[in-house]
Amino acid sequence: MADEKRLVSLQTRVDALKSVASDERPVKQIKKAVGASQKGVVGNEKVIKIDAESPNGPVALDIGTSHIIAAQNKRDRIETIKELNAFFTVPNAKYAKDILNRKDVIYYERGNQYYITGYFAENFANLFNTNTRRPMKEGLLSPNEGEALSVIQAIVNTLIQKPKKFGEILCFVVPGEPLGGTGSVLYHQLMIKRFIGSLGYSPLSINEGMAIVVSELSEDDFTGIGISMGGGMCNICLSYLSFPVITYSIQMAGDYIDSMVGGSLGEPATRIKAIKEEELDLTREPKDRVMTALHIFYDEVIFRLLESLQRVLNSRDNIPKIKTPIPIVLSGATAMPNGCKGKFENMLKNVSLPVEISTVHLAKDLLNTPAKGALIVAMREAG
Ligand SMILES: Nc1ncnc2c1ncn2[C@@H]1O[C@H](COP(=O)(O)OP(=O)(O)OP(=O)(O)O)[C@@H](O)[C@H]1O
Ligand SMILES: [Mg+2]
């Protein structure tokens, strides 16, 4: 009986793998797979043909809970390339290898498993109706995944190679210390730094909120508050004249919203994530229970973010006396839905801060802003 079950489960996996390779899929599956694989193909084509090259000049890396983004300056333009920071494993059987190779899926072999990485992992997880595995949790290397660093290394290697010139500067983004958090930013930072050094770069790091300030607030003399609302964390930095006076993070953001909504409604978090990314508009009255729950947990994340800002800024004695009001810049993909900034502004009215806020504005490129800020620092450092 147990063997029968195993066989059925193996057969399901074989069928799903075949369906990745075949066009004879049910229409619904094809749509899903095309959506995900188009993203994968973008990453993949760039990886193989264009961007997985040895950089000539400084580089930036933003290794986030959801995405890994590399940035370079090419022909006086900042170019970014991204992958999903996720993986999916399948047994290393010959049938799997043939299919993966035929479809140019990005994977590597370890033990008796194939590790499928990036957007392809999401594609496979959808086909198996399950979740991808994630090397990072709440902004830091996941304590639950022993292979976390090797997966991140594999993904980074698909985005950038060793530099043309040994010792080229690479500036990577690090999170702020979580308020009441359990994970260690220092461990996370040093592990990433070692890996980057082993590729032949001179590693340099910048706080994620500060990278937003560098990218967006040059006209304000780099004075203001940079906030990244990401997947695993919200990162906050108060910068005064380019000095990061206060940096910290809270370990709740997009993933928290997905899992709380999913847990409340008995739905998988990945399904909620897909609905959130495609349909959520926070300016509209919610029409069903998923939208209602998404509104509730967006409110909660923004409330907790602002409440932390009030608590931290009012409890520190190193806040500079800033005479003029300062801006807040929101970035990170969780700030994307229409109405997120409006909700933030409304709730900000109920918060008492020791500095006056002039405006709240969204970064120009919500997903890539920290990587762009890190590249600016790398370029300056390189002279
Ligand atoms: N259109 C969208 N609407 C709402 N949320 C979105 C949208 N697109 C992406 N997201 C969410 O943004 C989050 C990822 O944001 P981002 O890529 O900035 O995080 P990250 O930098 O990888 O993570 P972190 O900085 O927290 O470690 C995910 O929760 C994702 O579901
Ligand atoms: Mg981020």
Query: Which residue segments constitute the domains of the chain, with CATH numbers given?
Result: 52-85+134-382 (3.30.420.40)
Average pLDDT, the chain: 86
Confidence band (pLDDT; 50, 70, 90) for 53? low
Give Rg (Cα) of the chain: 22
pTM of the model: 0.86
Tens digit of each residue's pLDDT (9 = 90 or more) over 75-99: 888 999 999 999 999 999 888 888 8
Taking the CA of residue 85 as reference, the ligand 1 atom at the shortest distance is: 22
Q: Is 337 in the pocket of ligand 1 (CB under 6 A)?
A: yes
**Other CB atoms closer than 10 Å to residue 367's CB: what's the count?**
20
Q: Pick the closest to residue 170 from 75, 82, 71 (CA basis).
A: 71
Give the confidence band of 23 by pLDDT, cuts at 50, 70, 90.
very low
Tell me the HSE value of 36 on the side-chain side, using a 13 A CA sphere: 21
For residue 95, the CA-to-ligand 2 centroid distance in Å is 37
- Pair of tokens at residue 262: 């999913």
Choice from 65, 85, 368 to test ligand 1 binding pocket (greatest atom count within 8 A of CB): 65
Work out the angle between the directed axes of helices 2-21 and 27-45 (0-180°, nearest 10): 60
Determine which residue's CA is closest to atom 7 belonging to ligand 1: 277
Percent of the chain's residues with pLDDT above 90: 72
Phi/psi at 93 (nearest 5 deg)? -85, 160
Instruction: Give the contacts of 338 (CB within 8 A, at least 6 positions apart).
Output: 281, 282, 283
pLDDT confidence tier of residue 17, bands split at 50, 70 and 90: very low
CA distance 265 to 358: 39
Q: Which ligand is nearest to the CA of 336?
A: 1
Cβ of 332 closer than 6 Å to ligand 1, yes or no, is yes
Cβ atoms of residues 165 and 202 within 8 Å: no
Ligand 1 pocket: which of 192, 275, 277, 291 to mutate (most atoms within 8 A of CB): 277
Q: Which regions of the chain does DSSP assign to beta strands (E)?
A: 59-63, 67-74, 77-84, 87-91, 107-110, 113-117, 136-137, 140-141, 168-174, 201-207, 224-229, 234-240, 243-250, 326-331, 357-362
Q: Which atom of ligand 1 is nearest to the CA of 254?
A: 29
Q: Which of these, 65, 124, 100, lies nearest to 257 by C-alpha position?
A: 65
Q: Which ligand is closest to the CA of 251, given by its number?
A: 1
Measured from the CB, is residue 276 less than 6 Å from ligand 1? yes
Name which residue leads in pLDDT, 62 or 28.
62
Cα 2 to middle of ligand 1, angstroms: 40
